[in-house]
Structure 1
Amino acid sequence: MGEPTTTAPTTIAVTDPRGAESGREPLSPLTPVTHVPISALATGESPRSNGTDIERCRELAETEGELPAIVVHRETMRVVDGAHRLRAAELRGDELIAVRFFDGPARDAYVLSVEANTRHGTPLSRAERTAAATRIIGSHPQWSDRAIAQVAGLSAHTVAALRQRSRERTAQSNSRIGRDGRVRPVSSAESRRLAGKLMRSDPKASLRQIADRVGLSPATVLDVRRRLDRGDDPVPTGRRTRAAGPAKPPVREERDARDSLDALLHNLAKDPALRFTDAGRLLLRRLHRQAVSTEEQASLLDDVPAHCAVPVAVFVRRCAERWLEVAEELERRRCQPA
C-alpha cells in the first residue's frame, strides 16, 4: 500500500512552455501520474485566503470514478494544486490518490499553485490575485510584468504598479531582497531575538520553519540556536548597536572559521571510534570534502560558467539545507536522555 504505482500520464497543462520567451524561466515539468498514500501528503500554501470549500469537497466526493490527479511538491510533499480533490478523497475513504509531482523549488511551486488556481476552479478574488502577484514580484524579480500578470490573472499595468510600490517600500525600509528572492532585514538583530522566542515557545519547530517565519536564513537560525544552547544572547555583540552600512571584508573571521574547522577535523580524526572503523573513516573523508577553504571557494566561483550559475546555486543551497537538517538532528539527539 505504501509503494507508489505509476500509470499513464494525464493531460494537466499548468506550466508555460514558452518559458523565457514569455518573460520568465520555464518551470520544471510535472512527472507522469503515480498513486501515493493520502496519509503521506500535506496541504500546501494556497493563494486562496478562505481555504477549501467543504461543500465543493462533498460534491467531488460524490462523483464516481477516480478524481483527476493532483499536483504535489515532491520535496515537501505539500499539495500545489488539488486541495479540494484531496479532501474529497479523504471523505470517500480513499487510501491512495493520483499525483503528479513537481520537482522545482518551493517558490516555483507557489507560482504553479497560483497559475493553476487562475485557470480552473472557483475564480480567485482580485485581492487574492493582487496578493499573489505581490509575492511573485518578490520571489521572481527578474520576471517581466506581463509574465507575472499572466500567472496571477491581472493586467501588466497593474503588476507594474505593484512592482513600483514594492520598490518604494523596500527603499524606505531597512531590508533587502536577496538573490533567492526573499526579503531579509539589513540588521537582523530583531529577527534573531524573535527566532529565539519562537525556539523557546516551540522547541520542536525546525530551523526551516523558524527561518520562514522570521525572514532569516536557516544558517542564521542555527547560529541563534547554538547561542541559546550556550546561554548567550541570540544577537552577536557587534550587531546589537551597529548601524546599517557597508561591511568590511571578514578576512580574519574567515581565517578563524577555517582554523576552527581544521581543529575540529584534527580532533575527530584522533577519536578511536572514527579512526579505527570503516564507517568512521568514511565519515571523516566526507567531512574533509565539505571543509572548503576560502581559496577553494574563490576557485569554485571562478570555474562556474555564467549560464550555469543559477542551477549550481540551487544545488549548493539544497546541499547546505540538508547538512543543516543533519546538524539539527544531531543536536536534538544530544539533548535526548540516554
Structure 2
Amino acid sequence: MPGHLDPHAVEEVQISSLSTGGSPRLDGENLAHVETLVASQAQLPPIIVHRPTMRVLDGMHRLLAAKLQGHQKIAVRFFDGPEEDAFVLAVRSNIAHGLPLSLADRKHAAERVVTSHPQWSDRMIASVTGISARTVAEIRKTTAPATTRIGLDGRVRSTDVTEGRRLAQELITKDPALSLRQVARAAGISPETVRDVKKRLSRSEDPLPDRSKRGTQLTRRTGKLVPSPTTVLERLRADPALRFNQNGRDLLRLLNVHTLRTEDWQKLAESVPSHSRESVAHLARDTARKWLEFAALLERNKLQR
C-alpha cells in the first residue's frame, strides 16, 4: 500500500488539531468501550493520524478516552499517503485490534475499497476488510470493472481476458510446445484460462467463450446512464474543495451515512423495535424532506450562476 507509516516515530499532538470524520464505523464509536479504556488507567498505544488531513485513522476510542481524562495532547503516529490509502489503513487497523468493526461496517468499507482500488483482487480486499472474497465479489458486481487486478502475491492480472486469450491463441499456434505457465505469463492470463484456450483450439472452436455482458456500476435513470451513488461519493471525497474545509467534511460524512445498499437499509429496518417504528419512520420522512429541500437549493444555486 502506498504511503508511509513509521512504527517508531511518535509525536505529541494537540487533540484540538485532530479531525474525527470519515470513520469506517457507521454507527460511530462505542461509549461503553471508551468508558472501559478510561477506567483501565492503562498506558494506551499511540493513535494513527493521516498527516495531510489530520484525520484520525485508528484510535477514536483512545482519543475519546483521552478527552474524558482531560488530556490536551495525545501520542500520534503519522501516516503520509493518499486519502484513499488512509481509509484502507483505517479499516485494516480497526480489524486487526481493539473493538472490531461490525459486519455492516466491513461490507460498507469493502464497497469503498472496491471503488478506490478496483485493481485489487477480491482476496486482497477481503484480507483488508475482514470479509470473505465471495462477499467482495458480490459487492464488486455493483461497481465498475477494472481492466487489471493486483493479487495477494503482488502480481498484476487482467480482468478482461479477451486480448489475453487472443494472444494465447497466437503463442500456442506458433509454438505448441510452450507450457501453460509460459503462455500464461506472456499473455497475462491464468494457466487455467490457457488450458481452456488449448481445448477450444483442439476442437477448432473460437478461443473466446460466449459470455453475457457484465453489469456496470451505471444505473439507467430518465433515459440516460448515471454513476452509482458509491461512485459519486468517491469522486466527491477526492475533491479538495470539500475535503479541506469543515462544512465540506460535514457534508461528506452525511452523504457517507446515507449511501447504504438496499440490503443494509433492510437490516436497519428490521433492527428497529416495534414500539419505535412509527417514530423512526417520522424522522426518516423528515430527513428525506430536508434532503429534497437541500437538492432544490443546490439546483437553484446552479441556475443562478
Which position in structure 1 is the counterpart of 2:89?
Answer: 112
Q: Normalized against structure 2, the TM-score is what?
A: 0.50
**1:66 deviation in Å?**
3.3
Task: Give the residue type in structure 2 aligned to 1:101.
Answer: F
Q: Which runs of 5+ in 2 are unaligned?
A: 145-214, 237-241, 257-297
| From 170, 174, 179, the counterpart of 2:217 | 170
Which position in structure 2 is the counterpart of 1:233?
Answer: 304
SS in 2 for 1:84: helix
TM alignment of 1:1-338, pairs within 5 A: 25-30=1-6, 32-167=9-144, 168=215, 170-173=217-220, 174-176=225-227, 183-184=231-232, 233-234=304-305
**TM-aligned CA distance change 1:207 to 1:155, over 3 Å:** closer
**TM-aligned CA distance change 1:27 to 1:150, over 3 Å:** farther
The separation in 2 between residues aligned to 1:60 and 1:212, in whole angstroms, is 26
Asked whether the 8 Å contact 1:44–1:80 carries over to 2, the reply is no
Asked whether the 8 Å contact 1:175–1:183 carries over to 2, the reply is no
**1:28 deviation in Å?**
2.8
Asked whether the 8 Å contact 2:17–2:54 carries over to 1, the reply is yes
**1:144 deviation in Å?**
1.4
The separation in 2 between residues aligned to 1:35 and 1:126, in whole angstroms, is 33
**1:139 deviation in Å?**
1.1
Report how many aligned residue pairs link the two structures.
178
For 1:280-306, what per-residue CA distance to the aligned partner results, in whole angstroms no more than 9, with x for missing partners? xxxxxxxxxxxxxxxxxxxxxxxxxxx
The separation in 1 between residues aligned to 2:255 and 2:38, in whole angstroms, is 38
Asked whether the 8 Å contact 2:2–2:82 carries over to 1, the reply is no
SS in 2 for 1:36: strand
**TM-aligned CA distance change 1:79 to 1:137, over 3 Å:** same
**TM-aligned CA distance change 1:116 to 1:170, over 3 Å:** same
Structure ranking higher on relative contact order (CA contacts 8 Å, 6+ apart): 2
Q: Normalized against structure 1, the TM-score is what?
A: 0.46
Task: Give the residue type in structure 1 aligned to 2:226.
Answer: S
Asked whether the 8 Å contact 1:118–1:152 carries over to 2, the reply is yes
**1:43 deviation in Å?**
1.0
SS in 1 for 2:41: coil
**TM-aligned CA distance change 1:184 to 1:165, over 3 Å:** closer
SS in 2 for 1:183: helix
**TM-aligned CA distance change 1:175 to 1:211, over 3 Å:** farther
**1:89 deviation in Å?**
0.4
Task: Give the residue type in structure 1 aligned to 2:304.
Answer: D
The separation in 2 between residues aligned to 1:29 and 1:111, in whole angstroms, is 13
SS in 1 for 2:13: strand
The separation in 2 between residues aligned to 1:208 and 1:54, in whole angstroms, is 23
**1:150 deviation in Å?**
0.4
SS in 2 for 1:131: helix
**TM-aligned CA distance change 1:49 to 1:212, over 3 Å:** closer
Asked whether the 8 Å contact 2:18–2:54 carries over to 1, the reply is yes
The separation in 1 between residues aligned to 2:246 and 2:15, in whole angstroms, is 24
**1:169 deviation in Å?**
5.3
Task: Give the residue type in structure 2 aligned to 1:183.
Answer: T
**TM-aligned CA distance change 1:159 to 1:142, over 3 Å:** same
Which position in structure 1 is the counterpart of 2:287?
Answer: none
The separation in 2 between residues aligned to 1:158 and 1:100, in whole angstroms, is 32
**TM-aligned CA distance change 1:206 to 1:116, over 3 Å:** same
**TM-aligned CA distance change 1:165 to 1:107, over 3 Å:** same
The separation in 2 between residues aligned to 1:99 and 1:125, in whole angstroms, is 25
Identity of aligned residues (%): 43
